[in-house]
Amino acid sequence: MQEVLQGWFFVILGLSVGSFLNVVIDRLAYGKSILGRSQCDFCEKKLGLLDLIPVLSYILLLGKCRYCGKKLSIYYPLIEIVTAVVFFLGFRFFGYDYFRLFVILAIFSSFIVIFFTDLKYYVIPDEVQLFLLLFSFIYKFNCTQSCLFYGFQLFFSSLVSGFFVALPLLFLFYITKGKGLGFGDVKLGFNLGFLFGVKSGFLVLYLAFLLGGVLSVFLLISGRKNLKAKIPFGPFIVVSSFLFILVPDVILFYIRKFLFFI
Ligand SMILES: [Zn+2]
């Protein structure tokens, strides 16, 4: 019973955080401050409390602004629901240690922001990359004694791992002249190495390329995108990182099937 209640708590927390992440995604992409009250994208009317209930407001208002009647983006309820699902999964997998769960939910929240800013606007804001870097450090920090020395050591080894994992992306960035990959992806690759270390960082990157390749081929064949279409890479890095944190054994099992020399 208690576990059911806790599960619901994380669903509702996820819905509320998702509502906040919507604001973060739209404002950071335009370089605006994330503080201040929400307003309608079209008529710029400040929204009241009743317009801000996650998912429910959207359903009750039939997906339209109460003031000007314009159709609201489906991204709003979608991001709230995605965040709720992600928070619930986080609780199911890491609910045994609340501090660890808190750090992981912070990392997952930055994943959601990266996924949707890249998908909606083709940018990955530096603010969210730094936020992810900070919580990656806390996630890895596991100190019993002489923490200052340990902290420095961990920081520098993580930096080095970050550079290694960012290198192939930097190379792709240069040979495609920034058209295949953005510099935001290179920085995200750095974050990946920083968070997972060199070996796992490369595995996650490899999985992201696999996912990206499969989806691109599917989009091409089904005629939904042509060869010139821009497909952001950030979402694939996010999805494979998310899976690697949640179910590393499953990912390793499947990667070994494709890449037998590991
Ligand atoms: Zn409006």
How many angstroms does the Cα of residue 52 sit away from the middle of ligand 1?
Answer: 13
Report d(CA 182, CA 188) in Å as an integer: 10
How many angstroms does the Cα of residue 126 sit away from the middle of ligand 1?
Answer: 30
How many angstroms does the Cα of residue 44 sit away from the middle of ligand 1?
Answer: 6
How many angstroms does the Cα of residue 76 sit away from the middle of ligand 1?
Answer: 14
How many angstroms does the Cα of residue 68 sit away from the middle of ligand 1?
Answer: 4
From first to last of its 262 residues, what are the pLDDT tens digits of the chain?
A: 788 999 999 999 999 999 999 999 999 988 888 888 888 889 989 888 888 899 999 999 999 999 999 999 999 999 999 999 999 999 999 999 999 999 999 999 999 999 999 999 999 999 999 999 999 999 999 887 788 999 999 999 999 999 999 999 999 999 988 787 889 999 999 999 999 999 999 999 999 998 998 888 888 888 777 767 778 999 999 999 999 999 999 988 887 777 655 4
Report d(CA 139, CA 259) in Å as an integer: 28
Q: pTM of the entire structure?
A: 0.93
How many angstroms does the Cα of residue 79 sit away from the middle of ligand 1?
Answer: 20
How many angstroms does the Cα of residue 46 sit away from the middle of ligand 1?
Answer: 9
How many angstroms does the Cα of residue 85 sit away from the middle of ligand 1?
Answer: 28
How many angstroms does the Cα of residue 13 sit away from the middle of ligand 1?
Answer: 26
How many angstroms does the Cα of residue 39 sit away from the middle of ligand 1?
Answer: 8
How many angstroms does the Cα of residue 121 sit away from the middle of ligand 1?
Answer: 21
pLDDT at site 219: 86
